[in-house]
Amino acid sequence: MSVQNTARLLPFETGRSSDPDKPVFVDPGTYEAVLVDWKVGYSAYFKKGTLRMRFRITEPGKYHDLVIPGWFNVEPSKSKTTVKAGWRSAFLRMYQECFNIKLDRRDRIPVSQFMSHRLNVEVWTISKDSQGQPLANVNHYSRVKRVLKIIQ
C-alpha cells in the first residue's frame, strides 16, 4: 500500500485586510496618496454630519497600497455629489488651499475633484479613545488629518 502526501495551499496573510473598516497603523508623517472613495453620513454619537474620505498610499515603501481614512465635519445636505461645510470648517479651508480658489458658496463643494489628482496627505496616530483615555499600543491606528496639497 502506497501512502501519498498531499499539500494544501493556504492563503498567505499579507497584513492587508479585505475589511475596509479595520483600523490600519502607519507611522505618522506625510505620504503621497490618492482618494479612493468618499461618503457623507451622520454620526449619532457626535450628533453631526461626517465626511469620510479613504486614501490609498501610492508612494513606494512598506505602507504602499494601504488605505487610510480621514474624517471631516460637514453639514447635512441633500446632494449626492457635493458636500456642505461651514466657512470656518477644516474641510472648506483645506479645499480652498489645495485648489487655490476662494469659494463663493459653501453648499456645493465637489469632493470628487480630489479624485483626479495625486495628493500629499498628513497622517496622524490615534492613541486615545473618545473619552480621552489612552489606548494600548496594539490598538493605535492612523487617520489622514488633512490633505496638504495637490501634487502636479
* Residue the block writes with cell 498628513: 122
The number of distinct structural domains making up the chain is 1
Q: How confident is the model at residue 52 (pLDDT cuts 50, 70, 90)?
A: very high
Establish if 11 belongs to a structural domain.
Answer: no
The pLDDT of residue 23 is above 70: yes
Establish if 13 belongs to a structural domain.
Answer: no
Q: Sign of torsion, CA 146 82 101 150?
A: positive
Residue-averaged pLDDT of the chain: 87
Establish if 24 belongs to a structural domain.
Answer: no
pTM of structure: 0.83
Span of 9-18, 58-67, 97-106, 130-139 with lowest mean pLDDT: 9-18
Establish if 124 belongs to a structural domain.
Answer: yes
Establish if 34 belongs to a structural domain.
Answer: yes
Mean pLDDT of 10-37: 78
The pLDDT of residue 22 is above 50: yes
Q: How confident is the model at residue 7 (pLDDT cuts 50, 70, 90)?
A: very low
Establish if 74 belongs to a structural domain.
Answer: yes
CB 125, CB 142: distance < 8 Å: yes
Q: How far is CA 30 from the centre of its chain?
A: 13
What whole-number distance in Å separates Cα of residue 130 and Cα of residue 43? 13
CA distances from 5 to 11, 81, 113, 140 (A): 20, 57, 56, 43
Q: DSSP state, 137?
A: G
Owning domain of residue 120 = 29-151
Establish if 35 belongs to a structural domain.
Answer: yes
Establish if 23 belongs to a structural domain.
Answer: no
pLDDT tens across 93-122, in order? 999 999 999 999 999 999 999 998 999 999
